[in-house]
């Protein structure tokens, strides 16, 4: 809960009356995070009322929680040898006030095992982190483009042709 019950506040100490004090009440009852103006109302046994105000600042000092998932494997993004970590499913987070952001770092993962640090920040700027291992797999097949059929002459004095003399085909791979 990101609030504070004003009934927990200590009433002003200079509460006195010649006939007796009946009640001392703080309003509002629930204070939210940040500065709040509390109005103290004192009522004496004759029904006379006096008030004063007090600024009470509610501070969120409770860090958010974060629980990373187990290690996972993902395929590289199309045409590249990397994976954009913004595609990962964020971990479970919670906060007594509110979660502002959940960010994965690094933003780009390379082929192989990567340690992803997840950072949760709440609306008060408090942070918590956890780590997840993400293995990026290269599952994209390479491409190859062969030249058209050709005819070659046998090597001199032989009835063969050394294939090492052929122009290599055009190849490409994301990694």
Between strands 99-105 and 112-122, the pairing is: antiparallel
- Extract the runs of DSSP E, i.e. beta strands, from the chain: 3-5, 21-27, 30-32, 34-44, 49-58, 65-67, 72-75, 82-84, 92-94, 99-105, 108-110, 112-122, 127-137, 143-145, 170-172
* 14 confidence band (pLDDT: 50, 70, 90): low
Q: pLDDT of 147-171, one tens digit each?
A: 899 999 999 999 999 999 999 999 9
CA of 127: how far to CAs of 3, 86, 120, in Å? 19, 19, 6
Token pair recorded at residue 53: 């105000």
Q: pLDDT of 28-61, one tens digit each?
A: 999 999 999 999 999 999 999 999 999 999 999 9
């Amino acid at each position: 809960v990101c609030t504070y019950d004003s009934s927990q506040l200590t009433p002003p100490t200079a509460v006195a009356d010649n006939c007796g004090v009946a009640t001392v009440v703080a309003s509002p009852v629930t204070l939210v995070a940040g500065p709040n103006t509390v109005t103290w109302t004192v009522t004496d046994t004759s029904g006379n009322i006096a008030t004063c105000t007090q600024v009470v600042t509610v501070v969120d000092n409770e860090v958010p929680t974060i629980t990373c998932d187990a290690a996972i494997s993902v395929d590289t993004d199309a045409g590249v040898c990397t994976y954009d970590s913004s595609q990962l499913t964020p971990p479970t987070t919670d906060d007594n006030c509110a979660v502002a952001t959940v960010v994965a770092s690094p933003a780009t993962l390379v082929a192989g095992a990567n340690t992803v640090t997840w950072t949760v920040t709440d609306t008060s700027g408090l942070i918590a982190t956890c780590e997840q291992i993400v293995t990026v797999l290269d599952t994209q097949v390479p491409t190859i483009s062969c030249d058209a059929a050709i005819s070659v002459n046998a090597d001199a004095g032989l009835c063969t042709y050394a294939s090492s003399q052929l122009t290599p085909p055009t190849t490409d791979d994301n990694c």
